[in-house]
A and B are shown apart, each in its own frame.
Chain A
């Protein structure tokens, strides 16, 4: 699993499909998540662009795509159960699956150790 400074995570499977979500740290900071707007399947996303929105009661935050590619699946379960983002942010609370356009982008992201170091600085 790889991480961004904006608190998104990415995990790539053997077929080059990246699962994307927000980190446990982000879920904690957001508070109770009440709504997630996931991207449409088929949408082409570019690393760094807003591609989802996560809402708590008092705030709405853009989620940036950590990597470029095409959205192949969105987590429909979040529609009925947005609280999954709080309960299991780095597992069942994933946002979308993206077919990687440029696998090298993943290597540029932080590993867990580096991300944890980064959190210490915040």
Chain B
């Protein structure tokens, strides 16, 4: 025979990975990665730029003299640096991202492609309006969808995110009250379960905040509401479905009481995903509601933005909407940049230019893809998925509101962890080791040790089962006294738990060069 024994060995060694550490601190594909300030050359660049023909001698002393302090990297180094960093992030594309109230759904890539068309991405906000008719038409179509889905007559498109939308809505309300001689109304009622942006926004507008109590079944306490709705109240801010994941059953009565007291009803639309295509806020008596395009309408969260927060408005508030807006004129769509004449009631301007066009394109592509039928299915599947999680976990973990269905998110408290030595935080950190992102924790504040799970409609049953199986296994471990699995978690993430106390006591908010090491005294 012509025997060949070349080639690689095919039998691995028998040693286990227990206690194995690499020599460099690297862990397989996971690389430690310094800051660009420790990597880059001060004279290196990853771009090739033409030499200027004219110098800056005309600017004399206005020119920056000293170094700026910016390192540069070549293109291959840049790719490596940021790709290595990316691998330290959890993402929707890796696994379920069940953050309650955040609506982490799949981000369709068609949206990304459309937003990058030169006809949208390479448009200047101030180029002649006649050269941007397609862009204005897209915004107009998106506005039509938003108005139709909410049964509201008007929409202010420009707010840049949810909190910015809240601000826009409250400024409309304030302007409406002032126009009606009701400027003395300076109080906003907010349920105790509200998202922090609600009271923060009210304070921003100079309103004082009064909390409304919650009933034992997690809804607005109508008796408390009625008692607090006085002549000083400008508005109520209610999230619906609320932050406990429950629909406010008395929503129509809440609106009626509010209007009877001369106040407006601001609805926080963060949870619109639960009812889109099925329930229209306009039918519930809402006067203003922001819509987070980065939640319900799938524009990516991007590690913390950008978002977009258009605000739909009732007939009473519509005249006060901020500039700019569009009107259909003889030569197509016209842009109204300033409130003059009949429109002089507009309260002002929320941002430079016309809002988040890049987000509008993505959201519109998403809406068109789903259509009226698909969006209805979105709400149904989002609610079905959340109730499925509640049903599967409810026997072991304790639902905060066990009676009746939840909407798009399932809320648990920490009663079931009592006596285990494991906290909500520990439990969440142990989920990281199992490959899942934790749920929203300790929010809403009204539920002890809250765990708020929002799966969204884009999770398959298989992924939901994988998730529920993992949580049930963890719950069993917690109850069996395997405490270290939790209190030390995560063990398998790129980093272990971080010292947030030290970070806050001695804030280090920017990289600084190491001071030159003094020569050893010896």
Contacts and interface: CB of A to CB of B under 8 A. Distances in A.
B501 interface: yes
A103 to B, nearest CB: 34
14 contacts: A32-B501, A32-B505, A34-B501, A34-B504, A34-B505, A35-B504, A35-B505, A55-B504, A56-B501, A57-B500, A57-B501, A57-B504, A82-B505, A83-B505
A56 B505 CA distance: 9
Nearest to B505: A34
A73 B481 CA distance: 51
A57 B497 CA distance: 14
Interface string A21-56: 000000000001011000000000000000000011
Nearest to B442: A58
Contacts of B501: 32, 34, 56-57
Interface string A51-90: 0000111000000000000000000000000110000000
A51 B307 CA distance: 38
A33 B330 CA distance: 64
Interface string B475-511: 0000000000000000000000000110011000000
Contacts of A32: 501, 505
B265 to A, nearest CB: 30
Contacts of A82: 505
Nearest to A82: B505
Nearest to B500: A57
A83 B506 CA distance: 11
A34 B500 CA distance: 10
Contacts of B505: 32, 34-35, 82-83
Nearest to A35: B504
A46 B520 CA distance: 56
B499 to A, nearest CB: 10
A32 B505 CA distance: 9
Nearest to A55: B504
Interface in B188-207: none
Given A34-B504, A55-B504, A57-B501, 6 more contacts: A32-B501, A34-B501, A35-B505, A56-B501, A57-B500, A57-B504
Contacts of A35: 504-505
A56 B500 CA distance: 10
A100 B242 CA distance: 48
A98 B375 CA distance: 63
B65 to A, nearest CB: 34
A32 B500 CA distance: 10
Nearest to A32: B501
A67 to B, nearest CB: 27
A85 B24 CA distance: 40
A115 B501 CA distance: 29
Interface string B271-289: 0000000000000000000
Which of A32, A35, A56 has the most C-beta atoms of chain B within 10 angstroms of its own C-beta? A32
